[in-house]
Each structure stands twice: as C-alpha cells, then as structure tokens.
C-alpha cells in the first residue's frame, strides 16, 4: 500500500462523520484524490500529499485545479521523513501557489487529524 493510500486510510478511520470517496481519475488530470461530504450537506475536495521533507510536489494540473476551484478545496499533507514534525497539515486549496513555493513551512489552517476533521465537519455550518 502506497503512502497516500495509507494517509487516506487514516482519514477514513478518523473522519467518521464525514463521507470520503476516493477518486481514481486518469482522464481528468489534476482531479483531487478525495471527494468529501459533511453532515451540513457540503461537498469539498481533498488532495493528499505525503512527503519525506518539507517540500510538496504538485503537477501543473493539480495547481490549475486549485487555482480554478479555490473554495471548498483542500490539501492534506503528512510529513514522514527524518527531521520533520510528524504531523498532518491541512491547507486551503486557494493557497496552492504559496504551498508550492514554501512547502510545509507555510502556516497550515489545521494541524493534526482532529483539527482537520473538525474544520471539514463545520464547513457550511
């Protein structure tokens, strides 16, 4: 099982009040990895990233998606490498350009699984 799939499994296990659907899309490049739906009736997308350092790698298509869809789109990243804080970071998709330039040094809107879950659960509430 790849690292992004393991991250997805962590989210699925911990985000019990949020419906997460894994999107496997080879025809529309840049489509985020997950479609989410919360109890307030709001849909959102999540791009998953796992890194061994502080830098995140995005394809031009992924950047384009988040630039074109800045609302209710998120990037959740996990740092696993030596010298990194072993945390889950969440960023708004509207900050993709800054995130691409600064990596995990950019201030996240949420740190940790519980904080991310609460943020997404309260979208639209």
In this predicted model, what pLDDT tens digit does every residue of 48-102 receive, in sequence order?
999 988 899 999 999 999 999 999 999 999 988 766 667 899 999 999 999 999 9
* Residue listed under structure tokens 């639209």: 124
| The pair of three-digit structure tokens given for residue 57, joined into one six-digit string | 């790698």
- Asked whether the beta carbons of 11 and 114 are under 8 A apart, the reply is no
Half-sphere exposure of 45 (CA within 13 A, CB side): 17
Strands 19-22 and 110-111 turn out to be unpaired
Measured from the Cβ of residue 39, the count of other Cβ atoms closer than 10 Å reads 13
pTM value > 0.75 = yes
Measured from the Cβ of residue 92, the count of other Cβ atoms closer than 10 Å reads 19
């Amino acid at each position: 099982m790849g690292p992004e799939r393991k991250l997805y499994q962590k989210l699925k296990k911990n985000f019990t009040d949020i419906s997460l659907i894994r999107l496997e899309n080879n025809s529309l490049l840049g489509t985020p990895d997950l479609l989410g739906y919360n109890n307030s009736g709001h849909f959102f997308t999540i791009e998953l990233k796992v890194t061994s350092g502080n830098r995140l790698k995005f394809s031009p298509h992924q950047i384009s998606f988040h630039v074109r869809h800045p609302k209710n789109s998120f990037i959740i990243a996990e740092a696993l490498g030596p010298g990194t804080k072993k945390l889950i970071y969440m960023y708004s998709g509207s900050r993709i350009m800054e995130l691409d330039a600064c990596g995990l040094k950019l201030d996240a809107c949420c740190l940790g699984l519980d904080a991310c879950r609460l943020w997404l659960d309260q979208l639209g509430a």
